[in-house]
Each structure stands twice: as structure tokens, then as C-alpha cells.
Amino acid sequence: MRLTLLLSFVVALGGCFFKKNIPPLASEVQSGGSLLLDKCGYTITTQDGASVPAAQVNVLGSDPTPKLIHLTVDKDPARSMGIIWRTNDEDTLATKVQFGLAGATDQVSDGAYFVYDSSIGKIRIHEAHLCGLEPDTAYTYRVGGIGADGTESWSDTAVFRTAPDRAASPDAEIVVLVIGDTRDGYMNWGQGLQQAFAKSQPELILFNGDAVTLGPIQDEWDAWFGQGGTAMRTVPMAYAHGNHDVNSVNFFSQFALPGDEQNYAFDFGPVHIAVANDTPIDASDLTGKNAALLDANIKLGAGAPWQLVMHHKPMWTAAAGPHVSDAETVRAAWQKYIDGNLVDLVLNGHDHDYERTKPMRGATPGATPADGTVYLVVGSAGAALYDAGSMFWTEKSEKTYNFVILKIRRTKLDMTAYRLDGTVLDTMTITKP
């Protein structure tokens, strides 16, 4: 069965995706659309292949038990949170979040739902955005809804914490998990999350792309989210589109990210993070629209203590993988924006190893972080490994499953890379006045 699906989706690597011939409901024609969120002042937008988002209705299906609950970064992570889930049936329309402070769930926010066709049939997404939250504050929440007869169905409660506000808490420290390229290694992905949360308590997950082997295969997404567990229910994720995600409707539907959900930026405490799609459907966008958005999104962080960029394909890599031309192409398109904006750290995946470069400015390695940008390839939490290599830009490389923990405050960035077994792989510290 898996082989048949893979053969059906081979064309996806060229930017297309297969859509199973399942007739949509008359009221759920799947050509995408938008819904304004009055409380937040922005819209939920779905892509072609998904239905127009609709405001929640008090309808419970045959089994409305919530599942695969996960948090995503919103436009302002200090004051908002995106929450996505599904239910055991695909017919529940009730989409509510009950939330509050100090363990209470005495506030309520209505969400929206939409559907898309997938390799396993119709998938209904429930999406809610909590806005007007207090910075650096713990909130208890549960998701679910109420039926027309008053019957209720709710998840267990969980707790998330909003990001610190930079102006109010300039000396706050944040803890960030960097991980990616899980593909079909879902047990390794789950192990990586467990190890990371045992080492520290991340407040933000940065995933650098390629969660699945091919974006349109829904059961792979289900397995990936299934391994996310408590980590993804309690910590928001920012996701960079990977080439194996193939700009699929599955990818766009299962995250609730800012902007166009593939090129966006946000602040999280002392850090400004710009995320970009380096495998757009239209290849010309790499040097056109996406390049301009990357430059603009980095510039939004002018004055932030730290500037980070995340995208999938590394500009500098010495791995013995099949991606030499990918690095050259992205480097030619985007490095000038990294250099011109004095970015501190660039986070990538794609090559399935661990790599840290010397500080790079153009093609010249520097002696200290003040001399350039450090590029990290955090390239496998499950995908088959590549042999590591070493070039003139290489500071450290190793063929191993890995993840990175960043501890960042206004004047200091500590990076610790771990192997998936929890042993330390690499460390780096950058300080600023």
C-alpha cells in the first residue's frame, strides 16, 4: 500500500500534489478562502484544495473526541496562540477553546473548521486563535465543543506559556528547541522530543522542514503529530516548509502560521525570527517574491538583540548528500540578505547530519561571530543519515541524529547540540554588549 502511494506521489517533488477523487460536500467546495477573526484582527486563510473556513457550529459527530492537538506560533506570540486539532470523526463542527489563568478554564473562544481531501479521505481541521493574552503568562486550556442538545466533548486540559514581551522584560531568557527532517523516522522524532524536554524545558520549537516523506500522504502526518504528544500540546511551533512537504494542502492546513504561512516573521523575547520557503511552487519566487519577503521580514527585526533565520535547504553544507546544487542555488539567491542584515544565526535541515560553520560573510570564514553569520544544519531527527564532510567553512560536523537547544537572553546565546541519545555533540556561545 505504501509503495503504491509513493509511486502516486512522485510528481509531488516537482511541486505538484495528488488529490484523491473524493467528492466534497456541496457546502464544502475545496477552492480555499478566508475568514476574518474579529478578536484578533486578521484572517484564517486556506489554500486551494481546502474548503473556506467556517465559524464553528454547535454540532457534534459520532465521536467528537479531540485528538492530535498542537500549538503554532501566531503573529504575536507574547499575546496570542494558535491551536489546531482534529476529532475521531470527521463530522464534528463544534470548535471551541476554554482557557484561563491559574488552572481555570473560565474563558471561551470560538474557532473555525474546514476540510480537505487527502490520501485517506476527508480531513476536518479545527483551528482557533486566542488573542489579547498577557505576555509571559501560563494559561490552562482545553479544546472541544458543545452539541445542539447541550452535550459536551472536551480534551484533557494542558498548559502553555506566552512569550515574554521584549520591552517589558528586556532581560528575559528563552529556551528554544531546533529540530527537523524526521521524514518516516517517527520513533526517532518522538525520542528527540523526549530527550529535548528532559534536557531543558523549551518554550518554542523551531522545525526546519520535512516532517514527512511526501506532503500529500496523510497517514504520515498523523504518525508525526501522534509522536508530538505533550510537547506539541504545550509549546508552540514555527515550521519552515521543506521540499518533501511539497507545498501540499496537508502542510498548509495543519499549521496556523503568520503571514502566508511559508514566509513570515515573529518576535519571541529577545529574538526576531524570519522563516522562509526555499522550495516555492513557482521556482522564480526563490529570487523574486520569497527573496523580497525574506529581506523585509529580517528588517522587521531591526533593533532586536538577536536575528535568526530559518529555512530548509542550507547555503553552506559539507554533507556527502545529493544536494550540492541546492546549496549553491539558495546561497546565490539569499546570502546577500543574510549578510546585509547582519543575521546572527541561520537554521537549516535538508542534509541529514549535524554541521556548524565558521562565521561566514560572503565566502570568507571569520574568526569570531562578530565576523559573520553562523549556519547550523540540524538535519536529522529521523530521516536516513548522510555521511558528514568537512570544507573550508566547516567548524564541526558529524553523521548523527541530532537536535539543538538554544538558551538566549539579551547579551548571550548558548547553543548545545545533542545526539538523539542525549549525549552532547557540540557547544557554542555568542555574547554581545
Tens of pLDDT along 90-125?
999 999 999 999 999 999 999 999 999 999 999 999
What cell was used for 243?
521540499
195 and 120, same structural domain?
A: no
Burial 298-309 (b: 16+ CB within 10 A, else e): beebeebbbbbb
How far lies 312's CA from each of 146, 176, 265, 333, 349, in Å? Answer: 40, 17, 15, 14, 5
276 and 383, same structural domain?
A: yes
192 and 101, same structural domain?
A: no
Q: How confident is the model at residue 16 (pLDDT cuts 50, 70, 90)?
A: very low
Residue 79: predicted pLDDT: 98
143 and 71, same structural domain?
A: yes
- Inter-residue contact 172 to 269 (CB < 8 Å): yes
- The Cα–Cα gap between 142 and 71 comes to 12
Which residues have C-beta within 8 Å of that of residue 122, sequence separation ≥ 6?
Answer: 22, 24, 90, 115, 116
Q: How confident is the model at residue 82 (pLDDT cuts 50, 70, 90)?
A: very high
Residue 14: predicted pLDDT: 37
Q: How confident is the model at residue 417 (pLDDT cuts 50, 70, 90)?
A: very high
Give the whole-number percent of the chain exceeding pLDDT 90: 90
Of the candidates 372, 286, 356, 360, which has an alpha carbon nearest to the alpha carbon of residue 325?
286
Residue 323: predicted pLDDT: 79
Does the pLDDT at position 187 exceed 60?
yes
Residue 322: predicted pLDDT: 74
Residue 9: predicted pLDDT: 38
In a domain, 37, yes or no: yes
311 and 346, same structural domain?
A: yes
Does the pLDDT at position 234 exceed 60?
yes
341-369 pLDDT per residue, tens:
999 999 999 999 999 999 999 999 999 99
Domain that holds residue 68: 17-161
What cell was used for 238?
514555527
276 and 423, same structural domain?
A: yes
Last residue of a domain, one of 161, 196, 229: 161
- The Cα–Cα gap between 63 and 61 comes to 6
Low-confidence winner among 25-39, 137-151, 306-320, 322-336 (lowest mean pLDDT): 25-39
Cα 15 → chain centroid? 20
Strands (E), 190-344: 204-207, 237-239, 264-268, 271-275, 306-310
236 and 213, same structural domain?
A: yes
Does the pLDDT at position 2 exceed 80?
no
Of the candidates 321, 428, 299, which has an alpha carbon nearest to the alpha carbon of residue 369?
428
Query: Considering its fold, how many domains does the chain have in total?
Result: 2
In a domain, 153, yes or no: yes
Last residue of a domain, one of 161, 183, 211: 161
Cα 402 → chain centroid? 17
Neighbours of 392 (CB within 10 A): 10
Mean pLDDT over all residues of the chain? 93
Q: Angle at the Cα of 256 (from 252 to 260), degrees rounded to 5?
A: 65
310-351 pLDDT per residue, tens:
999 999 999 987 778 899 999 999 999 999 999 999 999 999
In a domain, 265, yes or no: yes
Does the pLDDT at position 87 exceed 90?
yes
Tell me the residue length of the chain. 433
295 and 208, same structural domain?
A: yes
Last residue of a domain, one of 161, 183, 209: 161
- Inter-residue contact 250 to 269 (CB < 8 Å): no
How far lies 173's CA from each of 119, 137, 231, in Å? Answer: 42, 14, 19
Residue labelled with grid coordinates 555521511:
387
What cell was used for 144?
472541544
182 and 155, same structural domain?
A: no
Four-residue CA torsion sign, 165, 97, 142, 199: negative
Q: How confident is the model at residue 29 (pLDDT cuts 50, 70, 90)?
A: low
Residue labelled with grid coordinates 503571514:
259
In a domain, 2, yes or no: no
271 and 380, same structural domain?
A: yes
Helix orientation angle between 324-340 and 289-299, rounded to the nearest 10 degrees:
40
17-28 pLDDT per residue, tens:
333 333 344 346
More confident residue, 5 or 334: 334
Does the pLDDT at position 1 exceed 70?
no
| pTM for the full predicted model | 0.93
Neighbours of 239 (CB within 10 A): 24
In a domain, 327, yes or no: yes
Cα 37 → chain centroid? 22
94 and 190, same structural domain?
A: no
188 and 146, same structural domain?
A: no
- The enclosing domain of 73 has a CATH number of 2.60.40.10
What cell was used for 423?
549525549
In a domain, 316, yes or no: yes
Residue 21: predicted pLDDT: 34
